[in-house]
Amino acid sequence: MQKRFTFFSILFFLLLFAAACSNNESTDQSSPASKTRENVELTISAAASLKDALDSIQNTYQEEHPEVRLKFNFGASGSLQQQISQGAPVDLFFSAAEDKFDLLVEAGNIAKEDGLDLLGNELVLVVPKEEQSIKHFEDLTKTEIGKISIGTPETVPAGKYAKESLEKMDIWKDVASKVVYAKDVRQVLSYVETGNVDAGIVYKTDALVSDKVEIVSAADPATHTPIIYPVGIIKDSKHYEAAKEFYNYLQSDDTLKVFEKYGFTTK
């Protein structure tokens, strides 16, 4: 009888202990602290010219925040803006043009308080390393100069800025027939690197990451719309708090130094 009593007593206490542990786990899972530990995948649509800098920032951020996976969708700002407008599941948009970004703000996809102008860039003329005949933008008008490449102005901000500059320099009409349009600045850079064109107009940040091209001239900032990179949180993000945390991280001093390392100017 004593043994049966002891057995049931132990069993009773084990059941109580198991119930208490279960309650504690339930409480922990519902607490705000535990929610921040949940694994999250953030999708960031970003201008192609940001790729190298953001790849570096991604490695550092994910080391510090192992619960967050950053998934980047790089492309032309205009194409990315259209994708977001059509409902693509995106958490942040990092544009190379204010006008594309402003369209999403006006449409209500990004709240004004959740966006800011973060970076700047320069427009440069690049040629293959072995090219010697092109030193200035005006050289593009020479008859012996063949194809030159810029991004498609309607969707690629760098292409829009390039066309503006060439028009302001009053040489667009002389070079328009030579232009090979590209889907983004990285494709322009690739055309120049492979020698498929004699020259290209890209952002300074893109030119700096290639050892196959040479910067021969920089466009006067007065010849084109200011090159500004705004970033913002998509209002319908399913991971708003995590997106907000990464948005704030992009503005930190250490992160801005990374952007500067890759040739961007910071505000």
Same domain membership, residue 96 and residue 188: no
> Would residue 241 count as lying in a domain?
yes
pLDDT at 37: 54
> Would residue 1 count as lying in a domain?
no
pLDDT at 132: 80
> Would residue 212 count as lying in a domain?
yes
> Would residue 201 count as lying in a domain?
yes
We report the CATH number of the domain holding residue 58 as 3.40.190.10
Same domain membership, residue 133 and residue 103: no
Same domain membership, residue 219 and residue 136: yes
Same domain membership, residue 104 and residue 93: yes
Same domain membership, residue 233 and residue 114: yes
> Would residue 129 count as lying in a domain?
yes
> Would residue 12 count as lying in a domain?
yes
Q: How many domains are contained in the chain? A: 3
Same domain membership, residue 212 and residue 137: yes
Q: How far apart are CA 173 and CA 72, in angstroms?
A: 38
Residue 40 and residue 66 in contact, taking contact as beta carbons nearer than 8 Å: no
Same domain membership, residue 214 and residue 142: yes
Domain hosting 25: range is 7-33
> Would residue 2 count as lying in a domain?
no
Same domain membership, residue 205 and residue 180: yes
Q: What is the pTM of this model?
A: 0.76
Same domain membership, residue 67 and residue 155: no
Backbone angles phi, psi at 103, to 5 degrees: -60, -40
Same domain membership, residue 219 and residue 127: yes
Same domain membership, residue 238 and residue 116: yes
Question: Mind listing the pLDDT tens digit of every residue in the chain (267 residues)?
Answer: 444 445 445 544 545 445 444 444 443 443 333 344 579 999 999 999 999 999 999 999 999 999 999 999 999 999 999 999 999 999 999 999 999 999 999 999 999 999 999 999 999 999 999 878 999 999 999 999 999 999 999 999 999 999 999 999 999 999 999 999 999 999 999 999 999 999 999 999 999 989 999 999 999 999 999 999 999 999 999 999 999 999 999 999 999 999 999 999 997
Q: Token digits for 175?
A: 């070079």
- Which whole-number Å values give the CA distances from 249 to 62, 65, 118, 131, 253, in the listed order? 12, 11, 12, 41, 9
Residue 251 and residue 106 in contact, taking contact as beta carbons nearer than 8 Å: no
For residue 65, with 0-12 CB atoms within 10 Å meaning exposed, 13-18 middle and 19 or more buried, which class applies?
middle
Same domain membership, residue 198 and residue 69: no
